[in-house]
Structure formats: structure tokens, C-alpha cells
Amino acid sequence: MKIPLLEMKGITKRFPNVVANERVDLELYSGEVLALLGENGAGKSSLMNVLAGLYRADEGEIYIRGEQVEITSPRDAMLLGIGMVHQNFMLVDTMTVAENIILGMSDLPFVPDMANVSERILEISKRYNLQVDPQSYIWQLGVGERQRVEILKLIYRGAEILILDEPTAVLTPQESRELNQVIHQMTAEGKSAIFITHKMEEVIAFSDWVRVLNKGRLVAVKKTAETEPTELVQLMVGRDVLFCVEKSGRSPGDLMLELNNVQAVDDKGLPALKGISFKIRSGEILGIAGVAGNGQKQLAEVITGLRKTTGGRIRINGEVKTNKTPFDMICSGVSHIPADRNVRGVAGDMSVADNLAMKGYRKAPLTEKGILHPVRILELARRMIDAYHIDTPTPHTHSKFLSGGNVQKIILAREIDACRGLLIAAYPSRGLDVGATEYIAQSESGKAVLLISEDMEELMTVADRVAVLYEGRIMGILTCKEADTEKLGMMMAGIE
Ligand SMILES: Nc1ncnc2c1ncn2[C@@H]1O[C@H](COP(=O)(O)OP(=O)(O)O)[C@@H](O)[C@H]1O
Ligand SMILES: [Mg+2]
């Protein structure tokens, strides 16, 4: 039997509030590319950080060519031939390419011969068609070039196993094709690669094998040639029971939200929304399905004023509201349950009651003629604590003392309660035991709701229509009746 080049057995990695990896196994053979596939947060980076010596696993073993190894630092990993290109590059801006490549290498002479270093860099650069100028400063380079420097650095240092963490996220399609060539050249020479991604088509294009992670667990091992995108989507998302629940008593009213060819870029300046158009009427819930990371975050942000659009138009209640501030959007009746609830959402040093009242401060009945009414704030808080089952000792408790789930309920309660027209809810049920969508569906009708969720069952239960987001585009919008597992799965995999 062939011994794997690399074997990880039963890797468990815990963080204070989450198990990032739970007894995960991995095998990699020489000359092969393994794709590690999973939604955002599935535990891909954590597993690879364990391998690269950045994290210590709580449990599990690692073997190289059948021999157990201890990897306690990136240096250990490098000596074993393991090198990782991280999601955020780790290059020093003020140094040249050549300096970065030898930076931190231990077996260098006191005064390194830079001419020699440059020569070797050019040699590798030519062999792998990785074009870089050793004399350039990092700050002069674009993202694609920086990635090349990272890869070159690892090859220079003798990496046999190259780990690439979502490498194409920062690349143009042309650069992605070049990267594919580089990887093929490397594997042809007997080196191996682990390629992290959440995109099915990259798995198909780049890999020999694929391992799928879902919520920290390994859920599938497939030979790439023997699987297909729709199967991979199902494995990634982990649910396939879909049923349409008849929504009674809702009749759509006036047009509340209208997006027309809306475009936006992500934090790295790359296109994230590539022309989004849809409409939502009051009394209607539009679900947004799709693998997380396909533009969901940016979509919520442009509608709530947190991100500028680079094209297109947003109308609320018939009025153009493109590129307004978050405060303008609140005034236009937009409420927002954000996905990153720890960053945005609640002020930990304020009481539960004040956090609940935050959106009503500026108006009656909480404020009258510029005077705050603490008694009314408390009444409102008590009512909301009750209705949303928020577990807090008193309304005066600082919200930082509450559990994560209860902090989330504060946001839900406040946003649903304050909503006067349009509710943008991003993954509202994440981290909650009871489905948040129940609160949304039960709340008084007449609102328009945009519900972004990775839970297909949840979407089918409450949404009237479901739009599938893929690579910053809407693949199609189906009514709940038209939607089934197969159609949605195909659309989520980017197949028309
Ligand atoms: N350094 C860290 N501290 C605390 N939690 C972390 C850390 N790194 C990752 N996590 C958590 O572990 C889980 C898996 O994250 P990650 O491995 O980054 O997933 P992926 O790369 O698949 O998107 C997430 O819930 C994430 O919040
Ligand atoms: Mg990651």
C-alpha cells in the first residue's frame, strides 16, 4: 500500500466559543492536489493553520511519509517541507521581493549574497512561470504579484506541500488560470498542494481529490473526477430536505425596495456585486440563498448604507436612496440585523434596556421635546425582554454580561420592533436555538423583508420567493413553489 505523503488524524481544534475542527482526517499523496471545500467558518483555515504550525491542535496526530511529527511553529512546518500562503499575505511592504524571500531563513550567512539570491529567484520564476522582479519593493506590487512572491518564497525554501488559502479570492480570472498552471507544474514535479476554496468550479478545475468540511467536521471525501458541483453544494451546505410552506394571509402591497443593476466592490476592491436587480413589496419576504461568500454581506451593506455602490440604483418607497449614510437609511425605514453581530449591533457597556431602545431615542414616545423618558424606555425594554425571551438578570444589566445568544436576541428584538418598512436580516438564526425567522414571520405584517440565510429549510419555510446569489450575481429568482433542491442546488453551484 502506498504511504501518504501527509496524514492528519483526528485533528480537533477548539477556540473559546467554538470547535473549529472536530476529529478531522486528511490524506495527501505526492503529486496530488487536494481541495478543501466548505462554507465560510467551516474550519478550513484552522485545519491548515494547525498543519502550518500557527495553531496547536487540541487533539490528533500528524504524519509525514508515515512518521509522526510535532509541528509547533511555522519553522517546524517549513523544515518538514510544508508552506502556506495565507488569506492575508505576510510580506513586509518596505522590503524588496528578494529580501522578503530570505527574511527569517535560519541557515543564511551573516551577510547574504543578494546577487546569488536574485539569481535563484529568477531561476524559479522562470521554471514556474511566476513572473516577479526580485528588486521590486512589495509596496509597488499588486495583489496578484504579491501572491506570486508568497508562492515563490515557499518554493525557494523547499516546500514540498504548498497550502493555498482561498488563493483565487484576490485574483482576476486571468491570474487564476496562471495559478492553475503553476500548480500543475509543481505537481508534475512531484510536489503537492492543498487548495482551500468555497467555490465548486475551482475544485473541479484544480484538484484530484476533494474533502468537504461542514461546521468543523469532515463530511465527505470524493475523487474530483467522480463528483459534480451540485453534489458538492449539498455536502457543503449539509441540508437537502426542502419543502415549501404555504404562506397564508399575506398579500403583497406597495413596492418597498427596488435594486436596479447594483454594483459594489469588497474590502479588497474586487467586484462583489455585479449588477443586482430585484424588487420586494411590503408584506413580502424575499430569501437570498447561496453559499456564504458570494456577495451576501455586501448586498446587505449597500442597502443599509454601510457600503458605497459603484453603479446602479437603490430605491426605497419609490425614492432614490443610493449611497446614503446608515443614518439616512434608518430614517427611510430600514432596519438591519447584521451578520457580524459582535462588531456591529450592541454596545457592551450599555444596559440591555438602553441597547433595546437605541433606535427609538430620537423620537416619541421615548423622547418628547428633546427630553428622554427613562420610565418609557424601561417599559419598552421589559416588553421586549418578555416577547423575545431574552435571558437577563435585569434590564439594567450591561449587555456584555449576557451570553452570545441573548445578545443576538437584543439585536433581533430591537431591529424587528423598530422596523418601519424594510428589514434586512443577515443570517438571523445563526447561534440561536430557536429560529429567529419565527419572530420575523410573526411580527406584524406589512414589512418588506430581505432574508439572507444559509439554511434552506428556513428560507423555504418563511420566504415567498428565493433568489440565488452566486459570484455577485443573481442566478435566478424562484417562487417558493417553483423551488426544489435540485434547481436551487444547480443555481448555487453557478449552473444556469
Ligand atoms: N483565532 C481564532 N480565535 C477564535 N475563533 C476562531 C479563530 N480562528 C477561527 N475561529 C473560529 O473557528 C471557526 C472556523 O473558522 P475558519 O477555520 O477560519 O473557517 P473557514 O476558513 O472555513 O472560513 C469559526 O467559527 C471561526 O470564528
Ligand atoms: Mg478561511
Q: Whose CA is nearest to atom 13 of ligand 1?
A: 20
CATH fold, domain 6-237, is: Rossmann fold (3.40.50)
Nearest to residue 381, comparing CAs of 350, 352, 416, 419? Answer: 352
Q: Whose CA is nearest to atom 24 of ligand 1?
A: 41
Q: Whose CA is nearest to atom 2 of ligand 1?
A: 15
- Quick one: pLDDT at residue 342? 63
Q: Whose CA is nearest to atom 4 of ligand 1?
A: 15
- Quick one: pLDDT at residue 375? 80
pLDDT in tens, 332-364: 989 888 877 666 678 888 899 988 888 766 665
Q: In what order do the strands lie in the sheet with 82-85?
A: 82-85, 161-165, 192-197, 33-37, 209-214, 217-223
- Quick one: pLDDT at residue 22? 97
HSE (CB half, 13 Å, CA atoms) of 285? 28
Question: What is the whole-number distance in angstroms between the Cα of residue 408 and the centre of ligand 2?
Answer: 23
Q: Are strands 319-320 and 33-37 parallel, antiparallel or unpaired?
A: unpaired
Cα separation, 315 vs 135, in Å, equals: 50
Q: Which atom of ligand 1 is nearest to the CA of 196?
A: 21
Question: What is the whole-number distance in angstroms between the Cα of residue 422 and the centre of ligand 2?
Answer: 32
Is cis: bond before 271, omega within 30 of 0?
A: no
Q: Is 176 helix (H, G, I), strand (E, B) or coil?
A: helix
Q: Whose CA is nearest to atom 3 of ligand 1?
A: 15
Which residue out of 18, 47, 211, 235 has the highest number of ligand 1 atoms within 8 Å of its CB and is therefore the one to mutate?
A: 18
Is residue 219 within 8 Å of 235, Cβ to Cβ? yes
- C-alpha cell at position 485: 433542491
pLDDT in tens, 34-65: 999 988 788 999 999 999 999 999 999 999 99
- Quick one: pLDDT at residue 242? 47
Let me know if 198 is exposed, middle or buried by CB neighbors in 10 A (0-12, 13-18, 19+).
buried
Q: Which atom of ligand 1 is nearest to the CA of 213?
A: 22
DSSP code at position 420: S
Residue 46 Cβ inside 6 Å of ligand 1? The answer reads yes
Question: Which residue carries 509522526 as its cell?
Answer: 68
C-beta atoms surrounding 488 within 10 Å? 27
Q: Is 43 helix (H, G, I), strand (E, B) or coil?
A: coil
Q: What are the Cα distances from residue 481, in Å, to 262, 334, 441, 465? A: 27, 28, 18, 8
Domain 255-492 has what CATH class? Answer: alpha beta
pLDDT in tens, 72-102: 999 999 999 999 998 777 888 899 999 999 8
Cα separation, 334 vs 305, in Å, equals: 10
Let me know if 318 is exposed, middle or buried by CB neighbors in 10 A (0-12, 13-18, 19+).
exposed
Q: Which atom of ligand 1 is nearest to the CA of 87?
A: 21
| Range among 11-20, 104-113, 400-409 rated most confident | 11-20
Nearest to residue 473, comparing CAs of 294, 322, 314? Answer: 294
- C-alpha cell at position 82: 510544508
Question: What is the whole-number distance in angstroms between the Cα of residue 280 and the centre of ligand 1?
Answer: 34
Q: What pTM value is reported for the model? A: 0.63
Is residue 311 within 8 Å of 258, Cβ to Cβ? no
Which residue out of 11, 12, 15 has the highest number of ligand 1 atoms within 8 Å of its CB and is therefore the one to mutate?
A: 15
Question: What is the whole-number distance in angstroms between the Cα of residue 48 and the centre of ligand 1?
Answer: 11
Is the predicted pLDDT of residue 433 greater than 60, yes or no? no
Question: What is the whole-number distance in angstroms between the Cα of residue 395 and the centre of ligand 2?
Answer: 37
C-beta atoms surrounding 67 within 10 Å? 10
Q: Whose CA is nearest to atom 17 of ligand 1?
A: 43
> Domain extents for the chain?
6-237, 255-492
- Give every CB contact of residue 68 below 8 A, 6+ residues apart in sequence: 61, 62
- Quick one: pLDDT at residue 47? 97
pLDDT in tens, 160-213: 999 999 888 777 777 888 899 999 999 999 999 999 987 787 888 899 999 999
Residue 214 Cβ inside 6 Å of ligand 1? The answer reads no
Q: Whose CA is nearest to atom 7 of ligand 1?
A: 15
Cα separation, 445 vs 256, in Å, equals: 13
Mark out the alpha helices in 129-199 (DSSP H runs).
143-156, 173-188
pLDDT in tens, 392-412: 889 999 988 887 778 888 888
Average pLDDT score, the chain: 87
Q: Whose CA is nearest to atom 5 of ligand 1?
A: 15
Residue 45 Cβ inside 6 Å of ligand 1? The answer reads yes
Q: Is 274 helix (H, G, I), strand (E, B) or coil?
A: strand
- Ligand lying closest to the C-alpha of residue 55: 1
DSSP code at position 136: S
Cα separation, 180 vs 175, in Å, equals: 9
- Quick one: pLDDT at residue 275? 96
Is the predicted pLDDT of residue 444 greater than 60, yes or no? no
Cα separation, 196 vs 184, in Å, equals: 16
Is the predicted pLDDT of residue 246 greater than 60, yes or no? no
